[in-house]
Chain A
Amino acid sequence: MTEDSVLLDPSTGYLLLAIFSVLWIGLGFYWGRRNKSFEDHALAGRNVGLALGSATAAATWITSNTTMLAPQFALELGIWGMIAYSMAAFGLILFAPLAKRIRTLMPNGYTSGDFFRLRYGRTAWGIFMLFTLFYSLTWLVSMAMAGGILLEALAGIDYVWGMTVILAVCVIYTMRGGLGAVIGTDFIQSLIIIVGIVVVGFAVLQNVSVDEIHANLTATKPELVHVLFPAALMAIFNNLLFGLGEVFHNNVWWSRAFAFREGVGSKAFLIGGLVWFPIPIAAGFIALASGALNVAVPSPDMVGPLVIANVLGEVGAVAIFIIVFCSLASSIDSLLAATSDLITEDIYRRLLKPAADPATLKKVAQWITLALGVGTWAVCVPRVGTLASVLFFAGPLVGAMIWPIVTGLYWRRASSVGAIGGMLLGGGVGLISYFTIGWFVASTIGTAVSMVWVLGAAWLSKDRFDWNLLKED
């Protein structure tokens, strides 16, 4: 990143940062004023309606990756890359029936860890915790680092300051307001992001036609419009399976399934997925227009902001700043809330203090949120760029958890041997393929190996699971 790429005056950047920080913290305090117990704090009283539910599903899935990495995908892998990124919408869409099933089987559940512990036992739970904490913490670190880097790139705000403010704001309102505040702010953030992306998309179309974009791509970047582009073809299902693995296993989504009112979960996730689906396509389209608009791209992750600033000038720079800030906040707050709930429920309550009362659990969850924030900050300050890329190692790990979860929710004969072997073998072989072939095959191969093992184990298993065991108090 060079100084020349700063798109916005730093004083404007600081002003926007201050306005939105005050807004989110104020709303967090407002929505958190009625939280009394751990259930209120962690699951918003299990009473979230359809509008908020759909918005939080879409907004949480719109990370800074969606607004920054989707254009990069399109610039690197073309039309297929753009579609490949959108395939992650199937994570939400296919989680819709799972959410209904989860709510039915586990009316008193709190976390995805509860499911693994009750369904497959302690060993499988331990492996799950290792995988999911690796994924969640690297996602959290990558988001916080991305926040600092993007604010610096967009408005010249010092990396440490930008990262600290974003993290501090999210920690404060998540600590105070819990999942209720997270979902409420997600609703506003999703509206801002969607309106922003749509406006930018139309603005780009005002400057250049689809025919011009296609002609430019055909002449200068032919592989981007080539149907048989090998890396892009491999990325389609790899990304779809990565997305499925992320959503199916992570407590960010399970906590929402538990928090949504009876009958809301399946509709909310379906609507959230459908709302999310076109966003990477719109963001990717912006990147494909860069050539026709004569926007030189010094770094692929900056293609989106550069095109938007080129098309909309100062207004575009302000818009992308707000969109990025909202995208970051909507993901960081969800991760903080879901990860602190996972640690509070699965480790503190189930392992250390089974007799802890609801008020104590709420306090513990708040302190864990703070500790996660401070820990993430300490890891992010040195700005070790390779840390953010560690998130991509998680692709095969989360892919390897898909089949143990799906079969565990629907098949009585799904076994612990199948789940443990599927996670370990799928994750291991997937990681090997990550290094020997590339990131665009790791999730596919990891999921394939896990699938073969889990199905084989289920076929050979004589166990028949009693669903009532999931209805733990």
Chain B
Amino acid sequence: MAVTDRARSRQMNYPLESCDLPGSQAGMHLLRGANSRNSAFTTHQQEHRQVGRHYRQGTISFSKENIAPRSPRPFPDRAPDRSAVRLLVALISLAAALLLPAAPAAASAPEWADGGALASDTGHVLLEWQASEPVTLSIAREANFSDARELYEGTASSYFLSGLSDGEYHLRLQAAGGKLSEPAVLTVAHQSLAQALWLTLIGLIITAGIIATIWRGARND
């Protein structure tokens, strides 16, 4: 992930943290709003920079001489001169750059809701994330995702994962635009089997005791 993307991701979290509305959906609306406002701003800046570049290259002239109005010609008897055409083109371009809707900026990378360090003693976990576009969720046993398997693709912001055996699992989100989340690591270490078997035995004994008590009592009824 590029440094600038990380910085933008951190910026995007601020509205969520200061938001009174609960739930990821409310957060996502704010997130999208913040992102689109940033995008519009960035695009206008880019347009200005482009105009400036053209100016420096001499293709568009914003010199005082060119911008100052000439004496009007109520009945032009010839084609307008080239500098006037250039000025017109420049003004139209500038107006277009300022007035036309900004093109969407590239979306930021998806982010895990809880930082990306997960642990489970039951083999199941609810994965939650924030993303401004559809994502693909992948799981792998290898840290380099060489054996990655796709779990989900779509616009949801959570996925319930269950039935995992002991071990370490690596999870990753990829936005539709291609940007990747930081990998999350899920550590699964199931409860002690010995404890489970002992408690099962205790449960069996209690149940047998209840059944025996009822059965003996009911027999005398």
B203 within 8 A of A: yes
Chain-B contact segment, one of A137-145, A351-359, A361-369, A401-409: A401-409
* B-side contacts of A297, CB under 8 Å: 159-160
For the complex, give the distance between the alpha carbons of A209 and B217 in Å: 46
Cβ–Cβ contact A296 & B210, under 8 A: no
For the complex, give the distance between the alpha carbons of A411 and B25 in Å: 58
**Of A77, A220, A228, A236, which one neighbours B193 at CB under 8 angstroms?**
A228
For the complex, give the distance between the alpha carbons of A109 and B191 in Å: 46
Cβ–Cβ contact A240 & B165, under 8 A: no
Closest Cβ–Cβ distance, residue B119 to chain A (whole Å): 14
A-B contact pairs, 9 of them (CB 8 A): A2-B25, A76-B162, A94-B214, A97-B221, A101-B217, A236-B200, A300-B126, A407-B213, A411-B213
**Of A101, A223, A236, A303, which one neighbours B203 at CB under 8 angstroms?**
A236
Chain-A contact segment, one of B32-40, B65-73, B89-97, B150-158: B150-158
For the complex, give the distance between the alpha carbons of A228 and B196 in Å: 9
Interface residues of B in 90-133 (CB under 8 A from A): 121-124, 126
**Of B23, B190, B203, B221, which one neighbours A444 at CB under 8 angstroms?**
B203
Cβ–Cβ contact B158 & A233, under 8 A: no
* A-side contacts of B192, CB under 8 Å: 230
A360 within 8 A of B: no
Cβ–Cβ contact A101 & B221, under 8 A: yes
Cβ–Cβ contact B157 & A2, under 8 A: yes
* A-side contacts of B25, CB under 8 Å: 2-3
A211 within 8 A of B: no
A residues with CB within 8 A of B: 1-4, 75-78, 90, 94, 97-98, 100-101, 104, 217, 220-224, 226, 228-231, 233-234, 236-238, 240-241, 244, 296-300, 303, 402-403, 406-407, 409-411, 438, 441, 444-445, 447-448, 451
Cβ–Cβ contact A76 & B213, under 8 A: no
Cβ–Cβ contact A234 & B160, under 8 A: no
B residues with CB within 8 A of A: 23-25, 121-124, 126, 149, 151-152, 154-160, 162-165, 190-193, 195-197, 199-200, 202-204, 206-207, 209-211, 213-218, 221
A78-B163, A97-B221, A234-B200 as given contacts; A299 in contact with B126, CB under 8 Å: yes
* B-side contacts of A223, CB under 8 Å: 123, 162-165, 190
Cβ–Cβ contact B196 & A4, under 8 A: no
* A-side contacts of B206, CB under 8 Å: 237, 241, 444, 447-448, 451
A224-B163, A300-B162 as given contacts; A230 in contact with B218, CB under 8 Å: no
Cβ–Cβ contact A100 & B221, under 8 A: yes
Residue of chain B at shortest CB distance from A226: B165
Cβ–Cβ contact A229 & B213, under 8 A: no
**Of A101, A217, A451, which one neighbours B209 at CB under 8 angstroms?**
A451
For the complex, give the distance between the alpha carbons of A241 and B200 in Å: 12
Cβ–Cβ contact A406 & B159, under 8 A: no
Cβ–Cβ contact A222 & B211, under 8 A: no
* B-side contacts of A78, CB under 8 Å: 163
* A-side contacts of B207, CB under 8 Å: 90, 237, 240-241
| Closest 7 pairs between A and B when the two form their complex, measured CB to CB | A237-B203, A221-B163, A410-B217, A230-B196, A224-B163, A97-B218, A230-B191
Cβ–Cβ contact A229 & B123, under 8 A: yes
Closest Cβ–Cβ distance, residue B87 to chain A (whole Å): 51
Closest Cβ–Cβ distance, residue B93 to chain A (whole Å): 41
Closest Cβ–Cβ distance, residue A407 to chain B (whole Å): 7
**Of A98, A231, A233, A444, which one neighbours B214 at CB under 8 angstroms?**
A98
A101-B221, A299-B126 as given contacts; A75 in contact with B160, CB under 8 Å: yes
For the complex, give the distance between the alpha carbons of A297 and B158 in Å: 8
